[in-house]
């Protein structure tokens, strides 16, 4: 039998992954929307290695950026270069912070309910003795 709380945790982390995926793809899309001669994070990061890299490398960089932005760690190695990217990054930071707050609240709630349930079981065991 699968514990419903474990399924809820899995659901929460799948949602987090989905949001990170969407934000990463959106950030890469800002590069696609740029004019031919306009600098973007893709052309500026690591000497433009994402331009020469395949789709997998571009996705990895984008997902890395979205997760560091969402977690508010923001290492600063991948940064927005033009205004379009800055607007998107600002929106992504707000969405990411709200997502992490939601996830933290749910995880704490699930863990505290596990603690309450274990106390109930212990109480029942004591009453049986």
Question: For 23-42, how does the pLDDT look when each residue is reduced to its tens digit (9 = 90+)?
Answer: 999 999 999 999 988 999 99
Question: Bigger pLDDT: 128 or 22?
Answer: 22
What pLDDT score was predicted for residue 27? Answer: 95
Classify residue 20 by burial, with Cβ atoms within 10 Å: 0-12, 13-18, 19+.
buried
106 contacts 5 by C-beta, under 8 angstroms: no
The average confidence (pLDDT) of the chain is: 86
Q: Give the tens place of pLDDT for each residue, 52-61.
A: 888 899 999 9
Q: Which of 84-88, 95-99, 118-122 has the lowest mean pLDDT?
A: 118-122
Over the range 43-52, which residues count as b (16 or more CB within 10 Å of their CB) and which as e?
A: eebeeeebee
C-alpha to C-alpha distances, 88 to 6, 8, 84, 85, 123, nearest whole angstrom:
33, 30, 6, 5, 52
Question: Bigger pLDDT: 86 or 44?
Answer: 86
Q: Which helix (H) or strand (E) holds 83?
A: helix 83-128
The 10 Å Cβ neighbour count of residue 124 is: 9
CB neighbour list of residue 96: distance below 8 Å, 6 or more residues apart: 19, 23, 66, 69, 70, 71, 72
Residue ranges of domains in the chain, CATH in brackets: 4-128 (1.10.287.70)
CA neighbor of 45 nearest in space, from 25, 33, 62: 62
The 10 Å Cβ neighbour count of residue 3 is: 9
- Listed ranges 14-18, 72-76, 114-118; the one with the highest mean pLDDT: 14-18
What would the mean pLDDT of 101-118 be, rounded to a whole number? 79
What would the mean pLDDT of 40-51 be, rounded to a whole number? 85
pTM of the model: 0.80
What pLDDT score was predicted for residue 92? Answer: 94
- pLDDT above 70 as % of the chain: 93
């Amino acid at each position: 039998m699968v514990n419903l709380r474990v399924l809820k945790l899995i659901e929460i982390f799948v949602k987090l992954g989905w949001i990170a995926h969407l934000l990463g793809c959106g950030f890469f899309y800002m590069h696609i929307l740029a004019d031919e001669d306009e600098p973007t994070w893709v052309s500026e990061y690591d000497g433009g290695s994402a331009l020469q890299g395949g789709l997998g490398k571009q996705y990895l960089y984008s997902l890395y950026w979205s997760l560091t932005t969402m977690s508010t760690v923001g290492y600063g190695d991948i940064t927005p270069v033009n205004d379009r990217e800055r607007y998107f990054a600002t929106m992504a930071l707000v969405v990411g912070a709200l997502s992490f707050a939601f996830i933290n609240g749910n995880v704490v709630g699930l863990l505290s309910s596990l603690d309450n349930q274990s106390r109930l079981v212990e109480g029942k065991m004591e009453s049986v003795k």
